[in-house]
Amino acid sequence: MGRHVIHSFFDKETSTFSYVVYSPHDLHSVIIDPVLNYQQESGRITSESADTILEFVKLNRLHVDYILETHAHADHLSAGHYLQEKTGGLLAIGENIREVQQVFKSIFNLNDDDLGNKAGFDVLLKDKERIHFGELSIEAISVPGHTPACMAYKIEDCLFVGDTLFMPDVGTARCDFPGGDARTLFQSVHKILSYPEYTTLYLCHDYPPPNRTQLEFKTTVKDQKENNIHIHSGISEEAFVALRTQRDKTLNLPNLIIPAIQINIRGGRFPTPENNGISYLKIPINYF
């Protein structure tokens, strides 16, 4: 039995799972992949999902040490900065966020002041780096492929894998975003599946197929090896790359990719307000 407690939160609009992980002994905690709510029609950003997390933190009298992003998400806006202001937790992401920022800095014509010191985050994590919250530790594991900055976070016998893997009946992350690569994803998934078979994998999303009605947010290494429709044991790297590449050609872009990327590469901060006091997001015409 581990020394930690995991509480999941689900944002229905974006099919996103966020997590609070804490020690019941010393009440230190981390928040993983929190969501801001965005009304695309009006451009209005609200905080209902993040406030649910805040209520849980306050109710359980938790001290938030870190707010962890598994990557710069393209399908929802991050509440990282919002929760940092409310809790004082340090905002952390994989160090390769700089690579992601450089790509989108060009696409959205941003300048260095838009991103700020340390790429807008407090902590840029290296592969295999360890950080601590109270008596518990986290190992950061670089798992690029979906994006160059993807990180999994290992806490005792649990791995929070972001978008790298989904439930076995859904498969694996897409690799057609800038900097994504199916061959790299294959290697990253096998890094995850090299952990003991009882290791629990916590997911960032679930998109149930028609024959499954219940949402799921966790699986195991064993289940993924035996049943993942894209990358089960025995599938070769070449076969996976061919399958993943072909599937990616059929996918639409996420509905929120344009606002999400601009907010999330800043750690959840809004663009600097212009001289009228209003922040603006850009829409590149005929780029995506």
pLDDT value at residue 119 = 66
Is 232 a domain residue?
Answer: yes
Locus of tokens 């160090």:
95
Is 19 a domain residue?
Answer: yes
pLDDT value at residue 155 = 97
pLDDT at 1 exceeding the cut of 50: no
Range of the domain at 132: 5-264
Q: Which residues contact 166 (CB under 8 A, 6 or more apart)?
A: 172, 173, 203, 205, 206, 207
Total domains in the fold of the chain: 1
**For residue range 90-134, what is the model confidence (pLDDT) as tens digits?**
999 999 999 999 999 889 998 776 665 556 799 999 999 999 999
Rounded-to-integer distance, Cα 87 and Cα 65, Å: 8
pLDDT value at residue 110 = 87
In terms of phi and psi (left: phi > 0; alpha: psi -120 to 50; beta: otherwise), the region of 171 is left
AA identity, residue 91: L
Rounded-to-integer distance, Cα 159 and Cα 32, Å: 12
Mean per-residue pLDDT for 51-64? Answer: 98
pLDDT at 13 exceeding the cut of 80: yes
Q: Which residues contact 159 (CB under 8 A, 6 or more apart)?
A: 141, 152, 153, 192, 195, 199, 200, 201, 202
Is 270 a domain residue?
Answer: no
Is 43 a domain residue?
Answer: yes
pLDDT at 70 exceeding the cut of 90: yes
Is 124 a domain residue?
Answer: yes
190-227 b/e (C-beta count within 10 Å ≥ 16 → b) = eebbebeeebbbbbbbbeeeeeeeeeebbbbbebbbee
Q: Are 9 and 53 in contact (CB under 8 A)?
A: yes
pLDDT value at residue 112 = 73
Rounded-to-integer distance, Cα 12 and Cα 34, Å: 13
The dihedrals phi and psi of 277, each to the nearest 5 degrees, come to 85, 5
Q: How many CB atoms lie within 10 A of CB 184?
A: 18
pLDDT value at residue 233 = 92
Is 11 a domain residue?
Answer: yes
**For residue range 183-242, what is the model confidence (pLDDT) as tens digits?**
999 999 999 999 999 999 999 999 999 999 999 999 999 999 999 999 999 999 999 999
Read off the CATH number of the domain in which 111 is found: 3.60.15.10
At 36, which helix (H) or strand (E)? Answer: strand 35-39
pLDDT at 2 exceeding the cut of 80: no
